């Protein structure tokens, strides 16, 4: 039996459309019609993928610039508002970060449009953000969010759910905050489905014929790649770096040791204090700073070669306003003075950062 009711919903901070896809699939299971009447996203790459997934979508831009009156009436709001301000991978400034204040855009639209329900999603770190005491069950940030939503006359509940309990071979914890005008929704009694990586990996398929796969298989056996991450932002035995497989050009054992040590030491807060800039998760380092933890008679030659192969790049350290997502590397290479420009601090030596 098919319901005659069609739920009109809006998709805020839409990303690539995963939240929408889950909502629409749930509606299909329950034989409920659904229609997305408004979508907002600002990141160009996300918009490209979203429109590939949902070709008929009209993507609106910055939600802070859109009056509530310009949003069509709807029944349900979906909003995975930006998480970096609360994530353990970021600096966790919360509402002090402009991304954290985007929750108040959610509140603004709910207050103006008064839909029947909303589903909000964020990182697990939101639960304990800005605790007054370590013994508190939740932090002040989540307390403010729940209070604001309840003041709008919604019955609000929240729960941290882990994707590994619902058919994904990955631990991925997220908080879901749900509100309706009529009742408290139980978020604890969903049927669970556990799968492993072996359940989802395809077998008897040819490997992709790409430069990356060829390099990986020239350095590792196929079974050695199971469970590995391939990225340049972190160290660890379960991580494969671009230099481990010579992706941008072969490097020596000494250069690999150097790069791995930079990964280890680059996060030290003393570098930011010495430069007079805000700490980043991956500080730019001068050759002199690198020599404090790596001594080599030809260090400059090693660094020059890494720059030439694009494992790093030169730059002038600038004030950082948020956590860097790039691997910051090396060196004080002698370069011509750049043209005069606003904000350059001549007291800073030239530094080096990777293109990771």
Question: What tens digit of pLDDT does each residue of 38-95 get?
Answer: 999 999 999 999 999 999 999 999 999 999 999 999 999 999 987 544 444 444 454 4
155-162 β-sheet, strand order? 59-60, 33-40, 6-12, 76-79, 117-123, 173-180, 155-162
- Please report the pLDDT score of residue 346 as a whole number: 30
E strands present in 66-220: 76-79, 117-123, 155-162, 173-180
- Please report the pLDDT score of residue 4 as a whole number: 64
Beta carbons within 10 angstroms of residue 124's beta carbon: 17
The model carries a pTM of 0.64
- Please report the pLDDT score of residue 99 as a whole number: 43
Angle subtended by helix axes 253-265 and 299-308, to nearest 10: 90
- Do 48 and 15 form a contact (C-beta atoms < 8 A)? no
Structure tokens that stand for 24 in this block: 């629409």
- Please report the pLDDT score of residue 241 as a whole number: 92
- Please report the pLDDT score of residue 316 as a whole number: 54
Beta carbons within 10 angstroms of residue 121's beta carbon: 20
- Please report the pLDDT score of residue 100 as a whole number: 47
Told to judge if 341 belongs to the known catalytic residues of this protein, a careful annotator would answer no
**Which element (helix H / strand E) includes 304?**
helix 299-308
- Please report the pLDDT score of residue 83 as a whole number: 52
Q: CATH 3.40.50.150 spans which residues of the chain?
A: 6-180
- The conformation of residue 298, written as its DSSP 8-state character, comes to T
Residues of the chain with pLDDT under 70: 1-4, 83-100, 314-356
Superfamily of domain 6-180: Vaccinia Virus protein VP39 (3.40.50.150)
Given 83, 207, 323, 341, the catalytic residue: 83
């Amino acid at each position: 039996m098919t319901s005659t009711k069609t739920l009109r919903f809006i998709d805020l901070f839409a990303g690539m459309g995963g939240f929408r896809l889950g909502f629409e699939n749930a509606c299909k299971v329950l034989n409920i019609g659904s229609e997305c009447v408004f979508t907002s996203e600002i990141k160009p790459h996300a918009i490209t993928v979203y429109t590939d997934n949902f070709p008929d979508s009209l993507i609106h831009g910055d939600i802070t610039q859109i009056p509530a009156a310009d949003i069509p009436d709807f029944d349900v709001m979906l909003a995975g508002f930006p998480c970096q301000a609360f994530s353990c991978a970021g600096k966790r400034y919360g509402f002090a970060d402009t991304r954290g204040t985007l929750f108040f855009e959610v509140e603004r639209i709910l207050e103006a449009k008064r839909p029947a329900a909303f589903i909000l999603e964020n990182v697990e770190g939101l639960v304990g953000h800005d605790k007054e005491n370590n013994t508190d069950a939740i932090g002040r940030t989540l307390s403010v969010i729940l209070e604001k939503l309840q003041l709008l006359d919604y019955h609000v509940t929240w729960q941290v759910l882990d994707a590994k309990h619902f058919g994904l071979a990955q631990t991925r914890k997220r908080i879901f905050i749900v509100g309706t005008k009529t009742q408290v929704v139980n978020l604890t009694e969903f049927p669970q489905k556990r799968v492993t990586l072996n359940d989802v990996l395809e077998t008897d398929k040819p490997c992709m014929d790409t430069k990356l796969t060829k390099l990986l298989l020239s350095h590792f056996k196929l079974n050695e790649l199971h469970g590995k991450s391939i990225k340049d932002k972190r160290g660890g035995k379960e991580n494969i770096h671009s230099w481990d497989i010579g992706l941008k050009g072969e490097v020596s054992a000494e250069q690999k040791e150097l790069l791995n040590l930079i990964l280890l030491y680059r996060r030290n807060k003393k570098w930011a204090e010495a430069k007079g800039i805000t700490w980043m998760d991956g500080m730019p380092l001068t050759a002199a700073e690198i020599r404090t933890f790596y001594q080599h008679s030809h260090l400059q030659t090693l660094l020059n070669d890494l720059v030439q192969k694009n494992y790093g790049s030169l730059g002038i350290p600038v004030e950082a306003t948020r956590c860097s997502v790039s691997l910051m590397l090396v060196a004080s290479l002698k370069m011509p003075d750049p043209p005069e420009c606003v904000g350059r601090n001549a007291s800073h030596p030239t530094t080096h950062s990777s293109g990771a």
